[in-house]
Chain A
Amino acid sequence: MEVATQPKYSQIEQVQRDLREGKLTCVQVVEYYLDRIEASRELNIYIEVYAEEALAKAKAIDERLQENADDLGRLFGVVVSLKDVLCYKDHQVTGGSKILTGFTSMFSATGVERVVEEDAIIIGRVNCDEFAMGSTTENSYYGPTRNAADPSRVPGGSSGGSAVAVQADTCLVSLGTDTGGSVRQPASFCGVVGFKPTYGRISRYGLLAYGSSFDQLGVLAQSVSDTALFLEIMAGPDEFDSTASQRAVEPYASNLSFERKAKIAYFGSALDHPSLDPGVRQVCQGLIDQLRTEGHTVEAVDFDYLDYIIPAYYVLTTAEASSNLSRYDGIRYGYRSANATNLMETYKKSRTEGFGTEVKRRIMLGTFVLSAGYYDAYYTKAQKARKLIQEKTFEIFEAYDFILLPAAPGPAWHLGDNVDDPVAMYLADIFTVQANMVGIPAICLPAGTHPEEGLPVGVQFMANRFQEADLLAFSQKVMDAFPKS
């Protein structure tokens, strides 16, 4: 199988410069990515490719380039893929689930709409865990996606298709979603940049809901600068999502210089965690040493709440999921069982036949923690734990700019590992879930290669609420300092 080692373009400004200078056409750019999609077919990245439509849009952009290049949107020539949980008007979206087979969106997600308005070209929708529930992209109705660095390995999840789409150079940028690390953990496994903004920074309108108080749109890209530009374009108030922040959007993309010395905290309890792979620890330690050499302050701090994050997270997200997924009932859209004879059977059989096992498991757990008699013991208790975790995290940001954490406890594992043990699978999210619990921005940067396994390893930085500008500028500095391989 042909797998790209070097992407054709790793930044938007490169492709736009070549287009302006007439070195190639937008049609050629789309053709290049379509070839890449074809060459990487065995990785099972795309559920659907919009080849003709993408070529037609490219042709129109080429014509506009001839007329007046200054009239083009900020994302002209940028080829984008969408995780199969983001609505794109008049295109199918299924959440990687049988239950939404054949469903066509009547509107676009706000984030998608804003990107398309800036002349980005959507080339297709990519695979993910069913309704974003999973850490490997194995829980999809469309079969597993494979890691381009080693196709016997998982790409991570749930935005695994998005991560491999960028890793295998089938698009320049992919939009994913992050409920508990679903953008950052696959970015770590695939060696790309994965970013999740503050809760509410980007509208959730048009994102198939999983855990509404955790879900955020995220960006997977080759570079921090592309990530910043996409955030700048998608962020901001939205009349269709009242939880979207009213705060003004900063010019993240033109503000990427970080001149001061940062104060960075890391958790001793994380780097010494028994579940942390020694190779990942080595990569983290290497980065810490490098940051110190560059004059930044990097200090270990105590954080005694790490082991409470996952239990609280699974109580809260499954509760929200059981409620959100009640809309899939086989009546107004999606799959309806042909085996039902009355209304109750229609609900039950459509849902039973339409959902995969992991989704059913989470709906059952969520139904349990919300049910009369157990609500306070589980759901309220987890909400209180969330409050404590949030307060303790905010305390750290009183003294530090960023928190450094691994993105995942190890490198990508093999397909089929952990599938029989949900608890082990859930615990693998231990380092990413905190950002969603607290609602803060976080980014995973490709920090190196695993010393034994030769696989990509990412390192994560978190910042305080709405400190995206600082986080991205600092990330740019970190990326600049990495030796170019």
Chain B
Amino acid sequence: MADDFVTNFDLFVMNIDEKLISRLEHLARLELSEEERKGIQKDLNNILGMVEKLNELDTAKVEPLVYVSEAQNVLREDEVKHQLDRSKGLKNAPQQNGEYFEVPKVIDLK
């Protein structure tokens, strides 16, 4: 990571404060109520307290496990298959006009 300001894991004890909670809310596209925010802040700190346990493990020479599947480069022909026609593709949309998904105005020129 470019801005890896957490370098010494052993000394590192995380505390998620209100500012960080607000930032995470925005990144996750959530708007928590005051009560929910307090609850989740406390829960996250407790969970991270549990996660501290991992610092006991010496992983200096361990490669991260990224793929669990033994399958590699499973390729297939790039054929058009399982396509939905437009009416089916729009069927589950909360708002649509028969041609497009509709969303609230994105750019406000005022």
Residues of A whose CB lies within 8 Å of any CB of B are: 102-104, 106-107, 199-200, 213-214, 237, 239-240, 242-246, 307-308, 310-312, 314-315, 322, 326, 329-336, 340-349, 351-352, 355, 357, 360-361, 363-365, 367-368, 371-378, 380-388, 390, 422-423, 426-427, 439, 465
Which residues of B have CB within 8 Å of A106?
84, 88, 91-92
- In the complex, B3 has a CB within 8 A of chain A: yes
Most buried by A among B2, B47, B50, B62: B47
Having A342-B105, A347-B29, A373-B1, one finds 13 other A-B pairs with CB under 8 Å, namely: A104-B92, A106-B92, A200-B71, A245-B70, A331-B93, A331-B101, A357-B39, A364-B24, A381-B9, A383-B66, A384-B62, A388-B59, A390-B65
16 inter-chain pairs at a CB distance below 8 angstroms, sorted by A residue, are A213-B67, A237-B74, A245-B69, A311-B54, A343-B106, A345-B104, A348-B31, A360-B30, A360-B36, A364-B30, A368-B16, A371-B24, A381-B55, A382-B54, A386-B65, A427-B50
Question: Looking at chain A's contact residues, is the secondary structure mostly helix, strand, loop, or mixed?
Answer: helix
Which residues of chain B (39-53) have a CB below 8 Å from chain A? 39-40, 43-44, 46-47, 49-53
A383 and B30 contacting across the interface, CB-CB below 8 Å: no
B49 nearest CB across to chain A (Å): 8
Which residues of B have CB within 8 Å of A386?
64-65
Which residues of A have CB within 8 Å of B68?
199-200, 213-214, 439
B53 and A311 contacting across the interface, CB-CB below 8 Å: yes
Interface residue tally on B, bucketed by range: 35 or more
- In the complex, B80 has a CB within 8 A of chain A: no
Instruction: Give Cα distance in the complex from A9 to B54, angstroms.
Output: 47
A236 nearest CB across to chain B (Å): 12
Interface readout for B4-29 with A: 1 if CB under 8 Å, 0 if not?
11100100101010001101110111
Q: Given A357-B36, A465-B70: A372 and B1 within 8 A (CB)?
A: yes
Partner among B63, B70, B92, B106 whose Cβ is within 8 Å of the Cβ of A333: B92
A368 nearest CB across to chain B (Å): 6
Which residues of B have CB within 8 Å of A382?
51, 54
